[in-house]
Amino acid sequence: MHFAMPPRKTSRPPPYAARNSQNSSFVPPVLRNMLRSKPRVIVGAVLGLLTLLWLLGMIGGSSSSVPLTNIPKVAVGSGAPVVIVTVLDPSANPAWVQKIKANREEYAKKHGYLTHFPTPNQYPLNNAPQSWSRVPALRHAMTLYPGSTFFWYLDSSALIMSPNLDLHAHLLSPAVIEKHMITNAPVVPPDSVIKTFSNLKGERIDLVIAQDKEGLAPSSFVVRNGEWAKFFLDAWFDPIYRSYNFQKAESHALEHIVQWHGTILAKLAMVPQSLLNAYVSGPNAQNGQYKEGDLIANFPECDKEGRNCAEEQQPFFEVLERKKQG
């Protein structure tokens, strides 16, 4: 910058030369130059930011890119709270099958639940006993109703005797389940070394099952939908267990995986038999005998040879009929 005339000097010169910069904080000349105009500031800031990002991401960080496929994810809990699953043998007496179906459907309708009635030959059992079909049936129900939270497997030998009792409120809400679950008890009675955990939280429970006199009774149990359920059902359904000839097929396989694998035991809540699986005739545990007011009346193994479910259950059907009318 040049002026035609030098600027006028003051007539009272200061005794000492003033410092160049009045402000005490020192700004390097490079920075001062940068701050002179707006575009420079912007460019400088952007460059600085880029440098910082580069420093941060030079070797660290992981990639996240577009997924290869787009599978819509349904939030668990957006559908019906409970799905009732019963595997029905196509060779059974159709009238009785109809009654069993109606028993579950009426209950489901009352509480806004859903039902799923597959047949065993829908699933690849590979010559294993048909009772194994309950495992893929549950997995199937989860595929069909991914929004539901709980999946209740109920054997065809069992009847829902208290249609007004809401399973979710009665047993499955975290507070209730914490109250009822039996902790620190042997998984297989009377004296298995493996005991249920004593510090479980109700909201972390993924499998609710009762124990009869002989062990875990997978004729009525509830599984919570989720990744754990897939793991549990697939592990249970492993061909290695199906071909192992466990004496009681899937129920011994279940006891086996529960006792050997901590990630399964940690999700298991054992509840009193009367809440989920009361027996009318069978090896019930203490207080497991069916009495008026229990949710379930089970006739275990009534579909085996020499027994007839329809006949055994007839008086109970009549009771239900009377309840409905009066």
Region 28-47 residues binding other proteins, contact defined as CB under 8 A = 28-30
249 binds other proteins, rule: CB under 8 A: no
Q: Which is nearer to other proteins, 32 or 179 (CB)?
A: 32
Are 251 and 216 contacting, i.e. CB atoms less than 8 angstroms apart? yes
What the block records as the tokens of 188 is 């297989």
Residue 56 interacts with other proteins (CB under 8 A): yes or no: yes
Which amino acid would we find at residue 59?
A: I
Q: Tell me how far apart the alpha carbons of residues 149 and 163 are, in angstroms, rounded to a whole number.
A: 20
By beta-carbon proximity to other proteins, the closer residue of 94 and 124 is: 124
10 Å CB burial of residue 1 (0-12, 13-18, 19+) is: exposed
Is 175 a binder of other proteins (CB under 8 A)? no
User: x-or-dash pattern for other proteins, window 207-246, by CB under 8 A?
Assistant: --------------------xx-xx--xx--xxxx-xx--
Interaction between residue 90 and other proteins (CB under 8 A): no
Q: Tokens standing for 41?
A: 């500031």
List, in sequence order, every residue forming a beta bridge with 82; answer none if it has no partner. 150
Residue 140 found at the interface with other proteins (CB under 8 A): yes
With respect to other proteins, which residue has the nearer C-beta, 83 or 296?
83
Asked if 157 and 217 count as a contact pair (C-beta separation under 8 A), the reply is: no
Asked whether the CA dihedral 196, 198, 204, 205 is positive or negative, the reply is positive
* Minimum distance from residue 191 beta carbon to other proteins (Å): 19
**What is the identity of the amino acid at 27?**
V
Residue 61 found at the interface with other proteins (CB under 8 A): yes
| Cα–Cα distance measured from residue 122 to residue 107, given in angstroms and rounded to the nearest whole number | 25
Q: Is 59 a binder of other proteins (CB under 8 A)?
A: yes
Among 123, 153, 221, 279, binds other proteins (CB under 8 A): 123
Nearer to other proteins, 70 or 199 (CB): 70
Q: Which stretch binds other proteins (CB under 8 A): 23-31, 76-84, 281-289, 310-318?
A: 23-31
Choose, by CB under 8 A, the member of 84, 114, 137, 159 that binds other proteins.
137
Say how many residues touch other proteins, by CB under 8 A. Answer: 50
Residue 122 makes contact with other proteins by CB under 8 A: yes
Kindly indicate which of the ranges 26-34, 148-156, 160-168, 177-185 contains the residues binding other proteins, using the contact rule CB under 8 A: 26-34
Is the distance from CB of 280 to CB of 290 less than 8 angstroms?
A: yes
Q: Which is nearer to other proteins, 74 or 102 (CB)?
A: 74
* Radius of gyration for the chain, computed over Cα atoms and rounded to the nearest angstrom: 35
Using the minimum distance from each CB to other proteins, give the nearer residue, 24 or 65.
65
Q: How far apart are CA 129 and CA 246, in angstroms?
A: 11
Of 29 and 326, CB closest to other proteins: 29
Is 50 a binding residue for other proteins by CB under 8 A? The answer is: no
Of 26 and 292, CB closest to other proteins: 26
Question: Residue 104 or residue 139: which is nearer to other proteins going by CB?
Answer: 139
Asked if 70 touches other proteins (CB under 8 A), the answer is: yes
Interface residues with other proteins (CB under 8 A)?
17, 28-30, 55-56, 58-71, 73, 122-124, 136-137, 139-140, 142-143, 146, 227-228, 230-231, 234-235, 238-241, 243-244, 256-257, 260-264
